[in-house]
Amino acid sequence: MTEILRPVGIDLLDAKRLVLDEAQEPPLPAHDAEARDRVWERAVRANPNLFDGPVVACRGLEWLSPRVLRLSWVQVTYRHYALRRVSGATALPSLFVNVAQPTDNGRLLAVRMAPSTAAPGRWQLPGGSVEPPEEGAVLDESGLAAQAARELAEEVGIRVAEELRLWVVTRGENGSVGLTYLAPACSEAALRAGLAAAAAAERVQGREPELDGIALVSSPKELAILDGPHADYLEPIVRRLCERR
């Protein structure tokens, strides 16, 4: 049966399996495609760092059994999400992975996106959009966990030796679906050293780091005092981590 997910906080900790099926992108009327392209071109002029690379969108979620969730996905490009600003048009929900990185004293890492990103100043977890598999490959649970681990390494400089496990699934703004993976706890010193190394590596390549700030929080109250917008999933995940302790 198909289940409509609540806005945030869907817990898949007890799910036995995540099944992924590729689906077809719904047909788009020509006038909506033209309006989408105009919106995208304006966005790129305002922020030349935007790029129209391949990305995965969510086509649907369906419970196959109490512990098995099927996620249907579609390959699109970032341009697709410009449909959100086209009156009367419908964009597929985005699909992203992120990582809950705790410290060994029970705090959680929150990161702030740099001004050059698509979400300047936003507090969130390390992560990014799901990328489609290479030609001939499939998108599966292991591949999603690997993408989450790669985001953690690239943004935070923390490399995990084991496969990350899916911890929480959220559905929030614009119906976006997030797959949150729980990383092993690390020391605050190791975390700060990793962040510094990741930023230095980006600058060596001539790129500005995606992050321009971090915070280590232990409660929703501490999270609430961070200036700037917050990803809608962040507070429920911080609250859940508190309940886990």
Q: Answer whether residue 77 is part of any domain.
A: yes
Q: Answer whether residue 10 is part of any domain.
A: no
Q: Answer whether residue 9 is part of any domain.
A: no
Helix, strand, coil shares of the chain, percent, nearest 5, are 30, 30, 40
Q: Answer whether residue 65 is part of any domain.
A: yes
Q: How many domains does the chain have?
A: 1
Q: Sheet containing 95-100: which strands, arranged edge to edge?
A: 127-129, 95-100, 177-182, 165-171
Q: Answer whether residue 11 is part of any domain.
A: no
Q: Any alpha helices (H) in 169-214, and if so which ranges?
A: 188-204
Q: Please give the chain's pLDDT, 245 residues, in tens.
A: 333 334 444 433 345 578 999 999 999 999 999 999 999 999 999 988 889 999 999 998 888 887 788 899 999 999 999 999 999 999 999 999 999 999 999 999 999 999 888 888 999 999 999 999 988 889 999 999 999 999 999 999 999 988 898 888 888 877 889 999 999 999 999 999 999 999 899 899 888 888 999 999 999 999 999 999 999 889 989 988 887 76
Is the C-alpha dihedral spanning 115, 133, 5, 108 positive or negative? negative
Q: Answer whether residue 90 is part of any domain.
A: yes
Q: Answer whether residue 4 is part of any domain.
A: no
Residues sharing a CB contact under 8 Å with residue 67, sequence separation 6 or more, in sequence order: 14, 15, 16, 17
Give the structural domain span for 139.
17-244
CA angle 58, 63, 66 (to 5 degrees): 145
Query: CATH no. for residue 107?
Result: 3.90.79.10
Going by their DSSP bridges, the two strands 177-182 and 95-100 should be labelled as: parallel
Q: Answer whether residue 2 is part of any domain.
A: no
